[in-house]
Each structure stands twice: as C-alpha cells, then as structure tokens.
C-alpha cells in the first residue's frame, strides 16, 4: 500500500464546494415535477428555469469574498425584479411580475420542504434514540 497524503489542494476543495453548491441549488430550485404557468399560459419546467438559477447564484453574496460574483466580475450588481418592486413603480411588466411570482412560489416550496425534512429527521432521531 502506498503512502497517502492528507494534503488537498485549495483549488480542488474550492471546486468541490462550488459543485456542491450548484447541485444543492439545482435540486432545490429545479425540483422534478415543479411547473409554473405565466400570464400568457406558457408552462415553465426545470429546464426553462436554469437561467434563473444562474441569476440566483451570480447575485448571491459569497462567504469567501463577501460580494456577489456579478459584482466581482462586472463591477456592478444587476437590478432584479424585486428591486423594481421595492421602488413601487406604477407599471410593472407582466413578465417581471411572473418571475417574481415564480420566485416567491419557489421560496415557499423550499421553506415547506426544509420544514418537512427537519420534522422527518427529528422523528427519525427520536425513534432511534428512545
């Protein structure tokens, strides 16, 4: 048996962390069977929502830099539909409203799934340790 080193390159660890983040985001945001209909009746499935996952990743603050990837790469953060909603604009484009509704629906689904997972894990732990 050869000598095994405990050394891990920083790049490899960071790459693994990035892939873990991507996998988690895709599982949560693009869950199988989740569909949305917009104001025109068009159905969006997980594949059509991938650009939204990219936007979510690029506009979220990262612990390493304390900044968003968009800010680091471009020097500015893009305006999001929620930024426009906060300004109480008189007219909001229907597509922006649909995106906001889809985002809120996804956040509600995530919260519900997390609560269910916590309850399941609590019951499982209680059952094993009693």
- Global confidence as pTM: 0.47
Q: Which domain holds residue 93?
A: 12-128
Per residue in 8-37, pLDDT (tens digit) is 555 565 677 778 888 887 777 666 666 777
Within a domain: 5: no
Q: How many domains does the chain have?
A: 1
Within a domain: 25: yes
Within a domain: 58: yes
Within a domain: 7: no
Residue closest to 46 by CA, chosen among 62, 28, 60 = 28
Within a domain: 85: yes
Within a domain: 4: no
Within a domain: 2: no
């Amino acid at each position: 048996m050869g000598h095994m080193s405990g050394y891990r390159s920083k790049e490899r660890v960071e790459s693994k962390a990035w892939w873990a983040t991507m996998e988690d985001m895709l599982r949560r945001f693009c869950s199988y069977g989740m569909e949305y209909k917009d104001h025109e009746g068009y159905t969006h499935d997980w594949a059509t929502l991938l650009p939204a996952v990219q936007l979510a990743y690029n506009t979220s603050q990262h612990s390493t830099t304390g900044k968003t990837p968009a800010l680091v790469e471009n020097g500015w953060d893009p305006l999001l539909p929620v930024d426009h909603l906060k300004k109480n604009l008189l007219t909001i484009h229907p597509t922006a409203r649909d995106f906001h509704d889809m985002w809120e629906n996804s956040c509600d689904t995530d919260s519900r799934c997390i609560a269910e997972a916590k309850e399941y894990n609590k019951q499982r732990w209680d059952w094993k340790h009693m």
